[in-house]
């Protein structure tokens, strides 16, 4: 199991490490006081990447080659000059929402999903970035809209472990998009999703779907799970079609989802009351787990705080390690919990962190 967890927060990047059977928080966070919106440990070469979103001075990228002891500034993704009258959101980077590595056969390749909806690729370990114009210039893209932000954003990037040229991304709000040719061409792949917040004749439009988070199963990448604004969806045909999970436990609303890397039928969620409230159901934090592809669910609360507890877990605030045994959740109210038994029970690591944006196990 992974013995190190990175915790990206509103006030810096925290690290917790398991030593002698106990989780310990590193004494000093990196970037204390600065919002850290994404963190990426690259298993291919041990490099660590962090995306900052300075309140005044914009998005900054940092890279560490010594496990987080020291950091260098790297170029941030930038949008090209905006043509006069271009439709849609301003061509200005608002946030790096997610970072992912390219395939095992693509050393140094990184992907960044951003607000206002640009997908960026780096071929040189983050030294330079290029906007994927093939997706940005799609006529459907100006129709994307913000989900909780002023503009749309890409928050989920799945690189197919069978073929690094094949990429599936999810947009809030803009559905699911897939390329089979390393980003040269794209197709919208959200058929079967349903948007309850749209007028009736637009609810099945793939391009308006508000996917909150999408993950693919490592051992069976044809299976993808999506926590959507008003439902949980699952695809078993590589996003060609999606099926709605009929009865998710507690609530159909939530942000995070993870899937067991070795069993596509097992997935975890952190439900909340839907959009008008966004708090745990009954004021009681819970993780839910299905082991049968979404037919039934377990509600897992052992070790999580008793009600009232208003911890909300954002879309990157739930992670699973490469073994599938260890999970972590971090909340908007600064709670951090780890489970070593697939969610059956949880250990509180801290209840006093800054608001957590993302948790990520070391690769």
Partner 1 sequence: MPRVVFTSNLQRHVACPECDVHGGTVAQALEAVFADAPQVRDYVLDEQGHVRRHVVVFVDGQRIADRERLTDIVTPGSEICVLQALSGG
Q: Are 129 and 120 in contact (CB under 8 A)?
A: yes
Least CB distance to partner 1 at residue 230 (A): 31
**174 Cβ contact list (under 8 Å, min separation 6):** 117, 140, 141, 143, 144, 145, 152, 207, 208, 209
Complex with partner 1: residue 21 or 57, whichever CB lies closer: 57
Complex with partner 1: residue 118 or 305, whichever CB lies closer: 118
Burial of 283 (0-12, 13-18, 19+ CB in 10 A): middle
Least CB distance to partner 1 at residue 128 (A): 14
Complex with partner 1: residue 91 or 197, whichever CB lies closer: 91
Least CB distance to partner 1 at residue 125 (A): 19
Distance, CA of 261 to CA of 265 (rounded, Å): 10
**Which of 47, 58, 162 is closest to 109 using CA atoms?**
47
Complex with partner 1: residue 79 or 197, whichever CB lies closer: 79
Least CB distance to partner 1 at residue 185 (A): 26
**Which of 86, 115, 83 is closest to 98 using CA atoms?**
115
**65 Cβ contact list (under 8 Å, min separation 6):** 46, 47, 48, 72
**Which of 296, 210, 293, 291 is closest to 249 using CA atoms?**
296
Q: Point out which residues pair with 51 in neighbouring strands.
A: 38, 61
Complex with partner 1: residue 82 or 347, whichever CB lies closer: 82
Least CB distance to partner 1 at residue 90 (A): 7
Least CB distance to partner 1 at residue 82 (A): 6
Least CB distance to partner 1 at residue 13 (A): 15
Q: Which residues bind partner 1 (CB under 8 A)?
A: 54-58, 60, 73, 76, 78-82, 90-93
Complex with partner 1: residue 118 or 261, whichever CB lies closer: 118
Q: How far is CA 184 from CA 17, 131, 140, 141, 191, in A?
A: 40, 12, 16, 16, 21
Q: Are 225 and 211 in contact (CB under 8 A)?
A: no
Complex with partner 1: residue 81 or 199, whichever CB lies closer: 81
């Amino acid at each position: 199991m992974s013995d190190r967890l990175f915790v990206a927060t509103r006030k810096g990047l925290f690290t917790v490490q398991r030593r002698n059977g106990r989780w310990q928080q590193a004494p000093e966070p990196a970037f204390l006081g600065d919002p850290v919106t994404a963190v990426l440990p690259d298993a291919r070469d041990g490099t660590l990447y962090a995306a900052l979103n300075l309140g005044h001075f914009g998005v900054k990228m940092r890279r560490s080659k010594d496990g987080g002891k020291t950091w260098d500034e790297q170029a941030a993704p930038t949008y090209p000059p905006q043509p006069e009258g271009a439709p849609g959101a301003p061509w200005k980077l608002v946030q790096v929402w997610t970072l992912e590595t390219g395939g095992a056969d693509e050393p140094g390749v990184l992907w960044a999903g951003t607000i206002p909806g640009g997908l960026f690729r780096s071929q040189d370990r983050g030294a330079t970035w290029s906007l994927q114009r093939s997706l940005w210039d799609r006529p459907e893209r100006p129709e994307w809209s913000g989900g909780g932000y002023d503009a749309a954003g890409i928050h989920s990037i799945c690189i197919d472990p069978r073929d690094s040229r094949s990429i599936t991304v999810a947009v809030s709000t803009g559905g699911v998009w897939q390329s089979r040719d390393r980003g040269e061409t794209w197709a919208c792949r959200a058929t079967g999703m349903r948007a309850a917040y749209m007028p009736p004749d637009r609810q099945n439009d793939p391009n308006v779907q508000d996917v909150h988070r999408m993950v693919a199963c490592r051992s069976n990448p044809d299976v993808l799970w999506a926590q959507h604004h008003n439902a949980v969806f699952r695809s078993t045909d590589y996003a060609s079609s999606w099926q709605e999970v009929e009865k998710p436990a507690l609530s159909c609303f939530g942000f995070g989802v993870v899937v067991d890397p070795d069993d596509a039928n097992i997935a975890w969620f952190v439900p909340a009351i839907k959009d008008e409230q966004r708090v745990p159901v009954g004021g009681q934090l819970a993780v839910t787990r299905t082991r049968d592809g979404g037919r039934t669910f377990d509600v897992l609360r052992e070790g999580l705080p008793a009600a009232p507890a208003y911890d909300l877990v954002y879309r990157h605030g739930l992670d699973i390690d490469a073994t599938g045994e260890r999970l972590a959740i971090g909340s908007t109210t600064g709670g951090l919990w780890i489970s070593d038994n697939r969610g059956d029970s949880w250990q509180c690591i801290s209840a006093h962190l800054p608001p957590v944006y993302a948790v990520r196990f070391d690769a």
